[in-house]
Structures are given as C-alpha cells and as structure tokens.
C-alpha cells in the first residue's frame, strides 16, 4: 500500500518496546554455574541476579531487591560470586548483601547507606570481600573513593579496612593467589580513557595489622596512557589492557617484562564508564576468551597467551557484552543486526552456541527489519563514520519521488560509540517510514585514541559539525528529505542536539532526552566522576569560562529556529532537571515551538516502561506535527507551545 513516509502503520507499537523486554548483563561463572543480571522495564527497571545450575534457573534476588550500584553514578560490578556464595549491592539503600543456598534469603553485610560499593570481588579462600567504595558521609564535600576489604563473616557493624586511598578514583581491584593486590587508579581532571595507573602492592596475611593504606608500586600507565582491566593468571603474572599504541590492546606482565599479546588496530576493552568491566576471561593457563571492536563491530575469539595467536569464533554478533569462561564454555551477551540480543554459551573449540536467555522472546518479521548500512563522509579532521537505517515495511511504500524524513542520532558519552545491532526503537521509526542515521562523530570510541581525541577541546564543535555533515550527506545522496531532518540525542548526545539546533541550520526539528543546555552549570553542578570531564572536552573551568558560555546552547536560543521537544527525569543526578526547564523557558520566551515533559522519579535514562512508552509516543507525535505527516498510531495529545 502506498502511503506517505512517516504515516505507515506498523505492528511495532511503542508498548512493544518494553513488553517482554529484558536487559541482560554482567555474566560470571562459579564453577559450572552461570550467573547474570536481568532487568525488566515492566518491573520499574529493577535488576535481579539469576543463576543457572544445570538446566535449573533461579532468581536469587526477588523483589524488592535491586542489584545495582551508584558508585560514579553509572555503577557496574554490582555483584560477585565464588564458592556458591554471591554478594551484591542493593540500589535502594546502597547496602551489601550475601545470598547462598545456605542462607536462603539475602543477609545484610553492611549498615551505612552513605557508603556505596562497586567492582565487587569475593575471595572465599582468604575470607575477603574487596571492593571500590565511595564515601558520601560528608554531603558538604566531594565523596571519597577508596579500595576496601572486609571479611565475609563480618556483620553490618564491622568497619571496612581501607587498602588504597589518596587517588581520586579507583577501579578493578584484583587479588592474586599469593596475596598481591592489583588495581587501577586515576586523578582529576582525567577520565579513565585519558590517563590511569596500574598499581600493585602486597596484602598482609592479617588485615588487623594494616595500620595505613598499602604501599604500592607502578606497573604501567601514567600521562596519556589509559590502562584498564587487570587480571591475574594462575602463575602470578598479570594481564591488562593499555592504549599506549593508540588502541586498547592486551598486554602480559610477568614482573620483569611487558609483552603485547596481539598488537592490532582494534579495541580490546570499552571505555570504562562503569566498574567491573569484563572484556576478556581466563579459559585455562594459556588461553583467554576475549572480545575486540573494529569500527564498532565486535568480535569474539580465543587468544593463546604463549604465542599471541588469536582465533575468531564466528558467532554472527555485531556487539558483545561482558565475557565469562569456565574452561568448557564462553558466555557473553551477543547483539545481532537482525534479531534481539541473547545471553549465549559458546563452545571455544567449535564456536557452536547455546542460547540461555533472549532479551525478547517474540521475533520480528523480517520485512520490518531495517539492517544498518555502514556509511562515511568527510570532515576537516578526516573521515567520519555512521550507520544508516533506511525505511522498511513490507506492507507499505511511499509515493514515487518522495524522500523520507530522517532522525540523526547523536550518541551519549560523548566518549562512547554506536554499534550496528538490533534496536527496536530504531525499527519503530524505520517501520513507519522514517530513516535513521546513527553517527559515530569524532570523539567516538572504536576507532583508536587519535579519533577519540578529535573531541579534545572541541566538544560542541566537532560532534556538531560531524552530525550536520552526515545529515547533509544523506540528503545529497537522495537517502533523506533535506527539509525534514531531525536530530535526537540523550545526555551528552542531547547537548550535541541542542548545540546543533542553535549553531547550524541543518536540522528542522530536535528531540533532547536529558540533554545538557548549559555546560557552565554542568561544570559546577554534577557528580564527582564527571566533574572535571569537561576540562579535556572544553577547557579548564573557570579559566575557560568564556568558552563555556559560548558553547552553551542556552546562551544561543536566539539562534534557534526549529521546534524542540525536551524529555527529562526529575531525579537525574548527572544532568540536573533545571537544565531542561531553563532551555524550555528560554525557547518559550522567544515564541519558539517547544514541548517539555518531566518524568517523575526517573534518573539519568528512563527505566520505567510507562515513561519509555510515553517518550517514544511523544516523539512521534512531535515529528508528525512539525514535519507534516499524520502518524497511523493513536497517540496521547502532546502540547507544543507556540505551535
């Protein structure tokens, strides 16, 4: 049937984006038992710990437990398991709990909600829990990060033993069999992808004799080198990832020599936004299961430590999550271009796969799946990359000669990247006749450190120019209607969206999800982890105050000529809600079309199914009204002021 682009009926409703959807992450083995985290938007985004033992699957943390941590606000490493015992952080109160078949229901381990824990590690042989701790007991100052230990047998009133202190941030504490502790640390103004240090120290047999933090020595890292994710081998040597050659590659350190395991123009670890990252795992004394990323396409394989030989396992995935191994199987969460993500077991010899859990049980008809096309265009700094998703719906086509409206996606981070995997929200648009361009602008990960550093001092310039040039290139190539180009982004991507709308004339509509309108306010009012992030992206504050003012979209609303939809959570600790309110007020005062929706009890990113549904419906209604098409869906009324 012939209908205008944007007006195609689609069986993929906004409600279906959350129905039966599961978030799958943080896989770990304990012997042959498999553990993972599972989240349901229909359960308020609650995250639960699951175990598979043989063919039996058990939820270990039923409601109201929520296995998440707010260290760095992005969390990670929210549980650890060993010897049949699991410990986890409960998001509601920040407390640690222990659960096992012996305890039945979870047993509380800590008692102070002002202490947050992440990157949890459990060592039954020494009776220890080791973790990164973030101390919020003094709300009038910046929280203090340390590495701590506590005994598994300790009760809630026991004090933590501080092992490492003095650095601004810590990650990846790992204890060797002979009692050596390795960890990663870094200081303001660096982020973990800028400069970090891999440290090592001897842990005393009796922690009660530790009168002061450990005396460490530097293993690797320093200025302009990002070292991440150390792991001990059984022989006492150390594996880690470093970008000293421009790419995050694997290295082996035996106490005297530092050897690259497999030099390649590829990323063997992601940017460390969250703690507890597991991009590789030990299969046996001489083999690692690992993932690597080339231009934001992920690969899975087995690396032989002795020779550096890397054998790819062709599982058909284009994105891969954390990796675990038990000697017989490799486990990971695999994303595909043509079907929902799956928690899979992979035979490291044959590459045969077994599906443990699907993120969605219902499969989408092939005629609705728009598979990504890799595209590139040029900027002053060199080539820029992205993924183009053309409109596709087997039951509908557009009138001859009509070009589709297009949404340009600016990903968050901005130190992050977009992969070409199955995304129901993208298919929501393409199945209605709206094209999507997902841009990996300069500054994105997946292309090496030099590409990542294109954004140094240039946030709000390079990303904006790359998104605008990409949209214009798609229009010039006849892939999209140049008069109906929207831009959409969340968080840092929301900043790029707002900046593009006030600094270019490319886009005729914008949708900002918890985006940053005032980077000056962000520099002075955000959480510790990102409080100095802008030093490298914009410049040191307040020395570069004029630059901050110039690049803040809120100060250039007079240049805004396009309608704008702002979607914001009221409990956002990363981007304060007053940013969206201030931008809406400025647009309103100028008489520009603007809609603002505030979602109660939502933080940085929407987790509740009703809010995910409403935000997508509002976006479709908004684009229909400003681009002149009538959606086939029955949508809640959206109030757009000044339109």
- Taking only the tens place, the pLDDT of each residue in 471-503 is 999 999 999 999 999 999 999 999 999 999 999
Beta strands across the sheet bearing 297-304: 280-284, 287-294, 297-304, 310-312
- In this predicted structure, the answer to whether residue 18 has a pLDDT above a threshold of 90 is no
Instruction: pLDDT band for 606, please (50, 70, 90 cuts).
Output: confident
User: Which residues touch 568 (CB under 8 Å, ≥6 apart)?
Assistant: 513, 514, 575, 577, 579, 580, 581, 596, 597, 598, 599
b/e burial code for range 541-566 (CB count within 10 A of at least 16 → b)? beebeebbeebbbbbbbeebebbbbb
Over 90: is that where the pLDDT of 90 sits? yes
Nearest by Cα to 165 from 227, 199, 214: 214
Q: Tell me the average pLDDT across 178-201.
A: 97
Q: Note the pLDDT tens digit of each residue in 50-89.
A: 999 998 999 999 999 999 999 999 999 999 999 999 999 9
Q: Lowest-confidence range among 61-70, 314-323, 582-591?
A: 582-591
Nearest to 352, CA basis, from 404, 307, 316, 308? 316
Say which DSSP state 617 is in: H
pLDDT of residue 583: 87
pLDDT at 45: 83
Of 347, 358, 429, whose CA–CA distance to 392 is shortest?
Answer: 429
CA atoms within 13 A on the CB side of 607: 18
- Per the structure block, which two tokens stand in for 279? 């991009």
Q: How far apart are CA 61 and CA 48, in angstroms?
A: 6
Assigned token pair, 551: 């690049």
Compute, in degrees rounded to 10, the torsion defined by CA atoms 371, 372, 374, 376: 140
CA gap 104, 387 in Å, rounded: 48
Q: Average pLDDT of 280-304? A: 97
pLDDT in tens, 262-285: 999 999 999 999 998 899 999 999
At 521, the pLDDT band (50, 70, 90 cuts) reads confident
pLDDT value at 431 more than 90: yes
Per-residue pLDDT, 317 = 97
Cα separations in angstroms, 231 against 37, 167, 241: 22, 21, 10
The band of 358, judged by pLDDT with boundaries at 50, 70 and 90, is: very high
pTM score, two decimals? Answer: 0.93
DSSP state of 397: B
On the question of pLDDT at 574 being above 80, the answer is no
* Cα 226 versus chain centre, distance: 18
CA distance 503 to 560: 8
Contact assessment for residue 341 and residue 27, using Cβ atoms and an 8 Å cutoff: no
pLDDT of residue 362: 77
> φ, ψ for residue 47 (rounded to 5)?
-105, 135
Per-residue pLDDT, 40: 86
Distances (CA, A) of 206 to 96, 120, 150, 202, 476: 23, 20, 12, 12, 69
Nearest to 120 by CA among 110, 474, 111: 110
Q: Tell me, what's the pLDDT at 522?
A: 86
- Please give the share of the chain, as a percent, with pLDDT higher than 70: 100
CA–CA distance from 506 to each of 260, 503, 593 (Å)? 45, 9, 17
What are phi and psi for residue 64, nearest 5 degrees?
-95, 10
Angstrom distance (rounded) from CA 633 to CA 610: 17
The tokens describing 245, both together, are 């050659």
The pLDDT value given to residue 211: 76
Residue 519 near residue 544 (C-beta atoms within 8 A): no
CB atoms within 10 A of CB 604: 20
Q: Is 144 exposed, middle or buried (0-12, 13-18, 19+ CB in 10 A)?
A: middle
- 461 pLDDT band (50/70/90 cuts)? very high
> Tell me, what's the pLDDT at 289?
98
Distance CA 485, CA 526 (A): 32
Average pLDDT of every residue of the chain: 95
User: Which residues neighbour 274 within 8 Å (Cβ) at sequence distance 6 or greater?
Assistant: 72, 74, 75, 76, 77
Q: How confident is the model at residue 438 (pLDDT cuts 50, 70, 90)?
A: very high
- Of the chain, the percentage scoring pLDDT greater than 90 comes to 87
Taking the C-alpha atoms of residue 479 and residue 484, their distance in angstroms, rounded to an integer, is: 12
pLDDT band at 420 (very low <50, low <70, confident <90, very high): very high
Give the distance from CA 144 to its chain's centroid.
Answer: 23
Q: Taking a C-beta distance cutoff of 8 angstroms, is the pair 228, 277 a contact?
A: yes
Mean of pLDDT values over 319-324:
97
Q: Angle CA(459)–CA(422)–CA(498) in degrees, nearest 5?
A: 25
pLDDT at position 458: 97
Which of 256-260, 356-360, 385-389 has the highest average model confidence (pLDDT)? Answer: 385-389
* Res. 352: pLDDT tops 80: yes
Residue 228 near residue 171 (C-beta atoms within 8 A): yes
**Res. 363 pLDDT band, cuts 50 70 90:** confident
> Which of 118, 138, 119, 120 has its CA nearest to residue 128?
120
CA distance 73 to 145: 13
């Amino acid at each position: 049937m012939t209908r205008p682009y944007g007006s195609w009926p689609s069986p993929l409703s906004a409600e279906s984006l959350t129905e039966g959807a599961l978030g799958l992450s943080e896989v770990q083995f304990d012997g042959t038992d498999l553990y993972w985290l599972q989240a349901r938007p229909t359960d308020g985004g609650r995250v639960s710990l699951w175990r598979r033992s043989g063919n039996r699957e058990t939820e270990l943390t039923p409601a109201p437990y929520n296995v998440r941590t707010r260290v760095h606000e992005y969390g990670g490493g929210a549980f650890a398991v060993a010897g049949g015992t699991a410990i986890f952080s409960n998001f509601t109160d920040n407390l640690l709990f222990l659960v096992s078949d012996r305890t039945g229901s979870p047993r509380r381990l800590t008692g102070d909600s002002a202490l947050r824990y992440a990157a949890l590690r459990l060592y039954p042989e020494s009776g220890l829990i080791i973790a990164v701790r973030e101390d919020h007991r003094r709300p009038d100052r910046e929280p203090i990060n340390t590495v701590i230990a506590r005994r598994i047998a300790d009760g809630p009133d026991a004090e933590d033993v501080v092992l490492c202190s003095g650095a601004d941030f810590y990650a990846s504490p790992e204890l060797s069999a002979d009692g050596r502790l390795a960890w990663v640390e870094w200081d303001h103004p660096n982020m973990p992808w800028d400069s970090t240090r891999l440290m090592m120290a001897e842990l005393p047999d009796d922690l009660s004799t530790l009168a002061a933090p450990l005396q460490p020595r530097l293993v690797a890292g320093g200025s302009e080198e990002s070292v991440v994710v150390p792991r001990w081998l059984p022989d006492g040597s150390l594996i880690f990832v470093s970008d000293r050659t421009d790419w995050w590659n694997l290295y082996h350190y035996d106490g005297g020599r530092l050897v690259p395991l497999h030099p390649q123009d590829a990323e063997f670890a992601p940017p460390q936004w969250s703690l507890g990252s597991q991009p590789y795992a030990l299969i046996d004394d001489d083999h690692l299961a690992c993932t690597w990323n080339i231009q934001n396409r992920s690969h899975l394989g087995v690396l032989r430590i002795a020779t550096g030989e890397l054998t790819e396992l062709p599982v058909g995935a284009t994105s891969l999550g954390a990796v675990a191994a038990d000697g017989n199987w490799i486990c990971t969460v695999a994303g595909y271009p043509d079907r929902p993500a799956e928690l899979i077991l992979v035979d490291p010899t044959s590459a045969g796969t077994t599906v443990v859990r699907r993120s969605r049980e219902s499969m989408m008809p092939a005629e609705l799946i728009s598979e990504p096309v890799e595209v590139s265009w040029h900027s002053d700094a060199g080539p820029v990359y992205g993924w183009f998703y053309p409109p596709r719906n087997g039951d509908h086509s557009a009138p001859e000669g009509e070009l589709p409206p297009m949404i340009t996606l600016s990903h968050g981070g901005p130190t992050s990247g977009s992969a070409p995997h199955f995304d129901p929200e993208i298919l929501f648009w393409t199945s209605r006749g709206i094209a999507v361009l997902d841009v990996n602008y300069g500054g994105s990960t997946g292309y090496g450190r030099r590409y990542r550093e294109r954004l140094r001092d240039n946030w709000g310039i390079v990303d904006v120019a790359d998104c605008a040039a990409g949209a214009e290139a798609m229009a010039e190539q006849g892939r999209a209607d140049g008069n109906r180009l929207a831009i959409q982004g969340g968080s840092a991507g929301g900043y790029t969206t707002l900046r593009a709308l006030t600094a270019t004339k490319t886009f005729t509509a914008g949708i900002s999800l918890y985006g940053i309108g005032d980077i000056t306010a962000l520099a002075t009012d955000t959480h510790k982890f990102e409080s100095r992030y802008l030093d490298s992206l914009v410049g040191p504050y307040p020395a570069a105050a004029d630059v901050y003012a110039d690049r803040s979209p809120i100060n250039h609303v007079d240049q805004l000529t396009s309608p704008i939809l702002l979607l914001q959570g009221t409990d956002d600790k990363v981007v304060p809600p007053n940013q969206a309110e201030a931008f809406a007020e400025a647009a309103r005062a100028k008489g520009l079309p603007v809609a603002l929706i505030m979602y109660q009890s939502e933080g940085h990113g929407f987790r509740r199914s009703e809010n995910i549904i409403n935000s997508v419906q509002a976006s479709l209604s908004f684009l229909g009204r400003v681009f002149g098409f009538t959606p086939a869906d029955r949508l809640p009324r959206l109030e757009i002021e000044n339109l």
